[in-house]
Amino acid sequence: MTTLIDRYVFTVLRRVPEQQRSDIERELRTSIDDAVDARVDGGAAHDTAVEQTLLELGDPDRLADGYADRPRYLIGPAVFPAWQRLLTMLLSIVLPAVVTLSVVIRALGGASFGEVVGTGIGTLLTVGAHMVFWSTLTFALLERGGVTRAGLPGRRPWTPADLPRYEPGFLTPAQLWSAVIWPVLLIAALVLQQFTFTEEPVLDPANWSFWWPYLIVILILEALYAVWLSRRGAWSHTVTLVNAVLAVLFTGPLVWLAATGRFFNPAWIATLDWGDTDPLRWLTGMVIVIAVAGALYDVVEVVVRGERARRKLPTAVPGTESYL
């Protein structure tokens, strides 16, 4: 179990250069321990002394910037950490999802390999540039309007309660976002393909009588499962079982529909001209392989995490050289 001091130190370390982490960790822990001991000697309770010490040190991201000697003048230090977190989330989660979706749609539309690659590169550069530009412009205007980090919508002055949880069972904000946004994007693609992208729906419209709504419900449950796991904060046999059941409920019907020729819309398949290659056979094989491989990877990953947590094996703290 990580202490409040551990969480503060880990949060600082993940933002400083790797070669400086050992010295900074030793220096920071010594400084915190001395300040806590001084407050305890003065009559404060230990937990209160820890909170007061961390409050005095302030936001760990700002402290890390001081250790790393990185002046932030592009949009200013007051709002830089919030801007950086937003941009990291957009570029690491949202941008790959948008690029993947555009490439898949282009490929399913019968485009050549070169056209698919061009679409991927174009989307990556265009959407990525827009994300960076508009995020930076928004925060620059906020700062010049006199808005401090604490004054941002939904923000308040930093407190130790804002520190991330580093126990093995807790999902990081990026992991939670990723686990929630993928089902949402898949649901959007499933609905939109019926009306846009191509003249004919890509997937068999007959399945709207049951199977497509069924898969939408399972995808919603997948997103809710991620939120539940984040709030639960512990890997267990229950978590492993629920994850495996959701994987079977989603992958089983998907593979069955593809194997029986009920996944793709026959009218759309008829519009594809791949020469001597049978597009239905290749696309069906791709769907089955991706679905099965993705499900197996997900199930095995959760099983491994659950076993490591149950056996209390050491887990690396992302961005640091420490272990839980």
Render pLDDT for 225-284 as a digit per residue (tens, 0 to 9).
Answer: 988 888 776 777 888 999 999 999 999 999 999 999 999 999 988 888 777 778 888 889
Q: What confidence tier does 205 reach under pLDDT thresholds 50, 70, 90?
A: very high
What gap in Å lies between CA 196 and CA 202, rounded to an integer? 9
Render pLDDT for 163-189 as a digit per residue (tens, 0 to 9).
Answer: 766 665 556 666 777 788 888 888 888
- How high is the mean pLDDT of the chain? 80
Single residue among 94, 119, 147 that ends a domain in this structure: 147
Same domain, residue pair 190 and 311: yes
Q: How far is CA 276 from the centre of its chain?
A: 41
Same domain, residue pair 112 and 15: no
**What residue numbers bound the domain in which 215 lies?**
167-319
Query: How many other C-beta atoms are found inside a 10 Å radius of the C-beta of residue 248?
Result: 13
CB 119 within 8 A of CB 111: yes
Read off the pTM: 0.60
Continuous H helices in the chain: 4-13, 21-41, 46-57, 60-68, 80-89, 95-108, 113-144, 173-192, 211-232, 237-259, 266-269, 279-310
Same domain, residue pair 193 and 132: no
**Given the structure tokens 């539309």, which residue do they identify?**
109
Nearest to 270 by CA among 279, 261, 262: 279
What gap in Å lies between CA 44 and CA 22, rounded to an integer? 30
Same domain, residue pair 84 and 57: no
Same domain, residue pair 247 and 292: yes
Same domain, residue pair 210 and 268: yes
Q: Within a domain: residue 154?
A: no
Structurally, how many domains does the chain consist of?
A: 3
What's the pLDDT at 148? 47
Q: Within a domain: residue 97?
A: yes
CB 36 within 8 A of CB 45: no
Single residue among 39, 68, 97 that ends a domain in this structure: 68
List Cβ neighbours of 243 (8 Å cut-off, separation of 6 or more).
Answer: 225, 298, 299, 302
What's the pLDDT at 188? 84
**Given the structure tokens 């069906």, which residue do they identify?**
284
Q: Which of 68-72, 133-137, 214-218 has the highest mean pLDDT?
A: 214-218
Q: Within a domain: residue 141?
A: yes
Q: Within a domain: residue 175?
A: yes
Q: Within a domain: residue 161?
A: no
Same domain, residue pair 307 and 196: yes
Same domain, residue pair 234 and 297: yes
Same domain, residue pair 172 and 311: yes
What gap in Å lies between CA 59 and CA 40, rounded to an integer? 23
Same domain, residue pair 134 and 253: no
Q: Within a domain: residue 268?
A: yes
Same domain, residue pair 172 and 314: yes
Same domain, residue pair 304 and 204: yes
